[in-house]
Amino acid sequence: MTQISYKRHRFPAEVIQHAVWLYFRFTLRFRDVEDFLAERGLDISYESIRYWVLKFGKQYARGIDRRRSSPSCRWHLDEVFAKINGQIHYLWRAVDDEGEVLEVLVQTRRNKKVALKLMRKLLKKHCFLPSAIVTDRLPSYGAALRELGLFRRHDFGGRKNDRAENSHQPVRRRERKMQRFKSAGSAQRFLSVHSSFHNLFNFQRHLISRNTLREFRGAAAAEWLDVVRAA
């Protein structure tokens, strides 16, 4: 497994890891992270933090994804619009029925071609067929699943897709904090990494006891330490 190299960096690895963790774990700007670190006596420019996020965030995300177990067999797909640089884009998202983010796709279209692209990425990434694919009533989903021979697994209607719709909320919070995404490419890079961090540290604490929450936090912290050592 490839080791992350922190050579030729002024600050130790622990500081870099903590700065990247703060940025993706909480709804913070680079300047917010700078202030948090300054409170601990670390004089670090927000530009350095931005550089660390761009350089190490993707490596950490790959390490997290390698260690995640297979998702459940019921997938939820949904899309929301976002204005990026004055143009309407669509944030396509797939989650399982436990809230695990499976894939995020930023596109300018909301049609069958993009729905097919999302489904093919999902199938290639997870290497198994889900028992059910839940969507809203957008016709593009039905057309894409029919072409893939998965139409019998399609489920839609009513409030069945609330799981996917609710999964957009963390992204909306980040979008407001960042005063909108600046480009489709930067949005795709950020959301791909953010989804991995979200999967690791999303405990749905309102559904579990305090003791279980402590166990989950401990397991996530141990997995994070393993990732940053050898991602």
Confidence of residue 59 (pLDDT cuts 50, 70, 90): very high
In a domain, 82, yes or no: yes
How high is the mean pLDDT of the chain? 92
Q: Is the confidence at residue 113, as pLDDT, over 50?
A: yes
pLDDT tens profile 133-145? 999 999 999 999 9
Q: What is the mean pLDDT of residues 206-220?
A: 90
**CA distances to 99, 173, 207, 214 from 210, in Å:** 20, 26, 10, 6
89 and 11 in a common domain: no
> What 3-state DSSP class applies to 224?
helix
In a domain, 49, yes or no: yes
148 and 110 in a common domain: yes
100 and 43 in a common domain: no
Q: What is the mean pLDDT of residues 3-14?
A: 88
105 and 23 in a common domain: no
Give the chain's domain count.
2
Residue 198 CA to residue 65 CA, distance in Å, equals 11
Chain centroid offset of residue 192 CA:
5
pLDDT tens profile 16-43? 999 999 999 999 999 999 999 999 999 9
Share of the chain above pLDDT 70, in %: 98
36 and 87 in a common domain: no
Confidence (pLDDT) at 162: 86
Q: Is the confidence at residue 223, as pLDDT, over 60?
A: yes
90 and 51 in a common domain: no
> What 3-state DSSP class applies to 192?
helix
In a domain, 150, yes or no: yes
Domain ranges, residue 107: 74-182
53 and 148 in a common domain: no
172 and 128 in a common domain: yes
- The vertex-13 CA angle with 10 and 19, nearest 5°, equals 90
pLDDT tens profile 162-209? 888 888 888 999 999 988 999 999 999 999 999 999 999 988 777 789
Check which CATH number belongs to the domain holding 122 and give it: 3.30.420.10
Confidence (pLDDT) at 231: 46
Q: What is the mean pLDDT of residues 62-68?
A: 92
Residue 95 CA to residue 163 CA, distance in Å, equals 8
Final residue before a domain boundary, out of 147, 162, 182: 182
Residue 110 CA to residue 155 CA, distance in Å, equals 19
Residue 1 CA to residue 167 CA, distance in Å, equals 32
Confidence (pLDDT) at 124: 94
Q: Is the confidence at residue 117, as pLDDT, over 70?
A: yes
Q: What is the mean pLDDT of residues 60-77?
A: 93
Q: Is the confidence at residue 2, as pLDDT, over 70?
A: no
Residue 103 CA to residue 209 CA, distance in Å, equals 29
Run of H or E including 4: none
136 and 94 in a common domain: yes
Closest by CA to 49, choosing from 3, 9, 7, is 9
In a domain, 187, yes or no: no
175 and 83 in a common domain: yes
Q: Supply 46's token pair.
A: 């927000």
207 and 158 in a common domain: no
Q: Which stretches of 40-160 are DSSP H helices? A: 46-67, 112-126, 139-148
- pTM equals 0.90
In a domain, 89, yes or no: yes
159 and 89 in a common domain: yes
